[in-house]
Structure 1
Amino acid sequence: MKLKLGVIGCGKKSSQYIDTWSQRTDIDIVCVCDPSEGALQHVKAILSAHGRKEVHAYQDWQTLLSEQGSTLDAVYICTPHAVHANQALAALELNLDVLLEKPMVTTVDEAKALQSAQQASGKQLVVAYQGGLSPLVHQLKEDIATKRYGDLMSINAAIWEDWADTYTGHWKQVPEISGGGFMFDTGAHMMNTTSMLCSQPFASVSAKMNNHNFPVDIVTTVIGELADGMLFSMHACGKSIRCTSRIECFFTDYVVRVCAWGRWIEIEDRDGNIERKEQESANNLMNVFLQTKDGNIQNPSDIEQGLHMAKLWDAIKLSASKSGAPVAC
């Protein structure tokens, strides 16, 4: 049975997914929405190139949900961060399953509102972190719990991109819409994957940010401690080369590296031997969403994790506002 899917937001990332999903036989993209007519025409052309029928196109998401909500099974939401909560709430209230782009929300209160709506509807909300849905990341999480590589001693994570100049003038650099800068945009992948791998809850963080004359943070450094005393660090640089990341987990017997999106993992032993595994992400995102929606697996990237992330981001911002003073999570 085909999933009847509506898409809210047809920007770069969404159009890439539409290109992948329109080649599948188990998904019927029924309607799309974007305020930009150019974006709508672009995704229409993608669907047409794959032999898909004409879709209903809207420039207003409320109208899409009002007119098409009863015909849909689920929606994929890929819009500016500040509107995620309202759009996901409206979809859940229509008893639709939701695949929601990261970050889930911009505030803890929004996360709690989504939590209540999801519980009332009984539907699934999956946050579309590739790392959060990656089998490689979840296997590493299990390996940490079973001490396959020995005791986890520390985690050092970094992510970088030519983000500052690429998105000059873009909504991503408008604080009221984005909810933050590079750390909360691309860096959110690093924060989410790191938080999933940490063996204990965060106890405290100390953070500093530098905007480098942009309206939002461009460089952020975080050091912190888990409840069990393990130390970790995260660094995000939004004025560098192509988008790349590396999260290094230091064990007593191995060093394991994974990218923030869970696309690859490297396992290095004491002799310097490295085993590398890779994972395709675009179809994996939809595969995991469908399995979660159908109740075949437990939601691997749920609202609880989104709430955890919101609390972490609040602590990072608070510490940065206090010149790096430690803040309890």
Structure 2
Amino acid sequence: MENNVELKLAIIGCGTKATQYIQTWIVRSDIQLLAVMDPNGKAMDNVCSIAAQAGKTAPLCFDSWQTLLKEQHQQLDAVYICTPHANHAEQALLALELGLDVLLEKPMVTSVAEAEALAAAQQKSGKTLVVAYQGGLSPLVQELKDAIANEKYGALVSINAAIWEDWADKYQGHWKQVPKISGGGFMFDTGAHMMNTVSKITSKPFSRISAIMHNHGFPVDVVTSVSGELNDGTLFNLHACGRSIRCVSRIECYFPQAIVRICAWGRWMEIEDAQGNVVRKDQEAANNLMNVFMQTRNGEIENPSDVQQGLRMAQLWDAIKLSASQHGVPVTL
């Protein structure tokens, strides 16, 4: 082991998203990947191949996440959990109980009850839990949040947010479209990034919302439209379309002196002034996720995506489902 390793890491769930991160993290000298778990042995073989190509020792492989955590927790600092949504709460709870810091994929949980249990466990353990919303951890999102709070462009007037992807057909038959595992459809999967970033930048509680969902013949929602109001009277719209092209997002914030656009993942931001001049800023995502997690657990920065934000998201999602089940009847949060 190199002397400058700061983080001894395990990964539960080695699918596409985790593998993308592993390819970036494995080459870092401040991280050592000690163990991985996935029910698909080929996925773990792929991780071992990535490690070999990077000249790194292959991680230990487990077919049970409980076994990994119970047998390896004393050798580990943290675990990254990248599994189906319905598994998040149980896996994160055990990791916290065993004294590990947790980087948990979004959405944090599938219900308010799970969010409250996880918040209690995190407080009891004193360990760090960061929810891996790229937008929640993005310096550009934080910059926009501060601009809104400080009324840099005047008071925020309204927000219009949209996210779209070729999701319905791409994930047909995938666990993401099995309600008991996914906890929802497109709005709760890719759309969760949009909901979280809007929630993050406003800092104000949601007051009421009205939501309509359409499944378009799929077992989960594919298109969702939400209109709502913050407790200070600011109006917002959220639109998620899972049967379109590519994977794109645009969140527009309207001010008296500017329009600010940002993507749900906080990768870019554009600031347009009254004369039509546009300043664009870009942010690299993969290493930023891990960098912010490490800075948070080291106490260098406040947690920008904590369990309380996860609880707020769970409350919003429960309200959206309730309103949609009544075809748009307004729900007070």
TM bracket, shorter-chain basis: over 0.9
Which residue of the partner structure matches residue 243 of structure 2?
Answer: 239
Are the equivalent residues in 1 in contact too, given 2:85–2:107 (CA < 8 A)? yes
One of 212, 224, 229 as aligned partner of 2:228: 224
Where 1:152 maps in the other structure, the secondary structure is coil
One of 307, 313, 324 as aligned partner of 2:311: 307
1:45 aligns with 2:49: yes
1:293 aligns with 2:303: no
Tell me, in whole angstroms, the C-alpha distance in 2 between the residues paired with 1:118 and 1:235.
Answer: 32
1:256 aligns with 2:260: yes
One of 19, 31, 51 as aligned partner of 2:23: 19
Unaligned runs of 5+ in 1: none
CA deviations on 1:41-98 (whole Å, 9 max, x unpaired) are 1111111110110210011101111111111000000000000000000000001000
CA deviations on 1:101-130 (whole Å, 9 max, x unpaired) are 000000111111111111111100000000
Are the equivalent residues in 1 in contact too, given 2:104–2:132 (CA < 8 A)? yes
1:112 aligns with 2:116: yes
Tell me, in whole angstroms, the C-alpha distance in 1 between the residues paired with 2:120 and 2:235.
Answer: 33
Which residue of the partner structure matches residue 170 of structure 1?
Answer: 174
Tell me, in whole angstroms, the C-alpha distance in 2 between the residues paired with 1:36 and 1:174.
Answer: 18
TM-score (norm 2): 0.98
TM-score (norm 1): 0.99
Tell me, in whole angstroms, the C-alpha distance in 1 between the residues paired with 2:327 and 2:216.
Answer: 16
What amino acid does structure 2 have at the position aligned with 1:217? D
Identity value in percent? 66
1:73 aligns with 2:74: no
What amino acid does structure 1 have at the position aligned with 2:18? S
Q: CA deviation at 1:199?
A: 4.5
Tell me, in whole angstroms, the C-alpha distance in 2 between the residues paired with 1:197 and 1:82.
Answer: 27
Tell me, in whole angstroms, the C-alpha distance in 1 between the residues paired with 2:34 and 2:203.
Answer: 41
Which residue of the partner structure matches residue 161 of structure 1?
Answer: 165
One of 321, 325, 331 as aligned partner of 1:327: 331
Tell me, in whole angstroms, the C-alpha distance in 1 between the residues paired with 2:103 and 2:332.
Answer: 31
1:284 aligns with 2:288: yes
Where 1:147 maps in the other structure, the secondary structure is coil
What amino acid does structure 1 have at the position aligned with 2:32? D
Tell me, in whole angstroms, the C-alpha distance in 2 between the residues paired with 1:199 and 1:152.
Answer: 12
